[in-house]
Structure 1
Amino acid sequence: MAEAKYNLFSESEIVLEMLDLCKRFAEAMSFDAEKVQPSLARSYHDSIIFAQFLRNQNCY
């Protein structure tokens, strides 16, 4: 039982460390909204086309 508890808490610590790393990475990110704005409509359209392709391939 003690070994199972150790593994459970060990794995949860790894997940927390990964979340902390993701948080720090996201905080360090930045982007220029004016630069991104023109491509948003095209990106949305590409995403919709890709989603339709996946649906037609039965990839839910």
Structure 2
Amino acid sequence: MCEFDVFLDGEKVFEEAVYLKRENGNVLARDILGNEKELGDVVVEEINVSSEKLLLTSK
């Protein structure tokens, strides 16, 4: 399974994300165990499967 480290403005903010969804203007990240983190109103800049990184920036 592909699990992503999530970076927001260059800082790692979440590990092993398997799910991301925009809800009410904010992005929610979830891992395989169901742990969640709201990441705010962000933009996806890059998804890199080979390095398992998801890069976001603040709006």
TM-score by length of 2: 0.16
* Structure with greater strand percent: 2
Higher relative contact order (CA 8 A, sep 6+): 2
Q: Which has the higher helix share?
A: 1
Q: TM-score, normalised by structure 1?
A: 0.16
